[in-house]
Amino acid sequence: MKMEAEANADYAIETRALCKSYGQVRALRGIDLKVKRREIYGFLGRNGAGKTTTIRILLGLVRPDEGEARILGSTLKESRRELLSQIGYFVETATAYPNVSVRENLEIQRRLQGASPASVEESIDRLGLKEYADRRAGTLSLGNKQRLSIARALLHKPRLLILDEPVNGLDPAGIVEIRELLRRLVRDEGITIFMSSHNLAEVDRLADRIGIVHEGLLVEELDAEELRRKTIRSFEIGVDDPLRAEVILRDELGYRIIGRSEGGLLRVAKEGLDPAQAARALVGAGIGLTRLAAVGEGLEDFFMRLTGGEK
């Protein structure tokens, strides 16, 4: 019965109206998340928006006041141990037992997760920790602690990875390496990744879908295509006869011209604009088209706009 339910579940994570308060502070005010299987889901929000509380609820570290979280088709209440054995995670900061070595830290996790003895060396290799394996975890740099945390999360070959700021503290080469690793995990092993981050550029590059949480509410949830569409602010149209082109676009097609620049570049508002129609009309009028491109605001500006930032 449980297996059937799991097989039917489309979502790796599904939350319904999650609410959580700490005293007078309302950390979550009804979060409804849907994370599809085998996708990378970027969970964005400002400090205190509710990201970590959501992750803690997903891992059973905190109980919601209201609502429910289903993970891989069931709740922690129904099958805590079975579910947790399929989740790899690290929360908030990379931590480890400082007086024991990297290898021993992984050995502790391996025993408690019930993973195979070979998994420790596999994880060390996978995360490039070989030269630090016998070093005390307390002496590692932040970036290597982060690698150790990811190695620990992957040790038991989980089906779902929940990562809080996975590239925090990594150098640019390390970020690329981890990004590639996460992509490989999804592509080759069918793992679902739920990651929270402040690093908008990283989420933009990596995530298949993005959820933006603000003041305890999910204010936007969209995939890469929707994000591209929503972040388009205008179109740039390059022509060899800007004066005639402006007349056609404005007077005949009813578009709003919001800017002009030297070299025959017109900036047209996105509202009502059909790029194909514009191109046909201009070419049909014998005007040479040198450029037709969407101008986006980028995830950062979009995020700031949604969360009431200054930008």
Task: Report the interface residues with other proteins, using CB under 8 A.
Answer: 22, 53, 56, 59-63, 80-85, 87, 89-93, 95-100, 104, 107-109, 111-114, 136, 152
Residues 6 or more apart from 192 whose CB is under 8 A from it? Answer: 12, 13, 35, 36, 37, 38, 39, 40, 41, 159, 160, 161, 186
* Minimum CB–partner distance for residue 70 and other proteins (Å): 17
Q: Which is nearer to other proteins, 89 or 302 (CB)?
A: 89
* Minimum CB–partner distance for residue 42 and other proteins (Å): 21
Give the other-Cβ count within 10 Å of 283's Cβ. 12
Q: Which is nearer to other proteins, 103 or 209 (CB)?
A: 103
Burial state string for 11-49 with b = 16 or more CB within 10 A and e = fewer than 16: bbbbbeebbbeeeeebbbbebebbbebebbbbbbbbeeb
Q: How far apart, in whole angstroms, are the C-alpha atoms of residue 298 and residue 210?
A: 13
Q: Which is nearer to other proteins, 135 or 183 (CB)?
A: 135
Q: Which is nearer to other proteins, 108 or 257 (CB)?
A: 108
Helices (H), 190-309: 200-206, 224-231, 242-247, 275-284, 298-306
* Minimum CB–partner distance for residue 60 and other proteins (Å): 6
Q: How far apart, in whole angstroms, are the C-alpha atoms of residue 210 and residue 229?
A: 14
* Minimum CB–partner distance for residue 62 and other proteins (Å): 5
* Minimum CB–partner distance for residue 112 and other proteins (Å): 5
Q: Which is nearer to other proteins, 24 or 99 (CB)?
A: 99
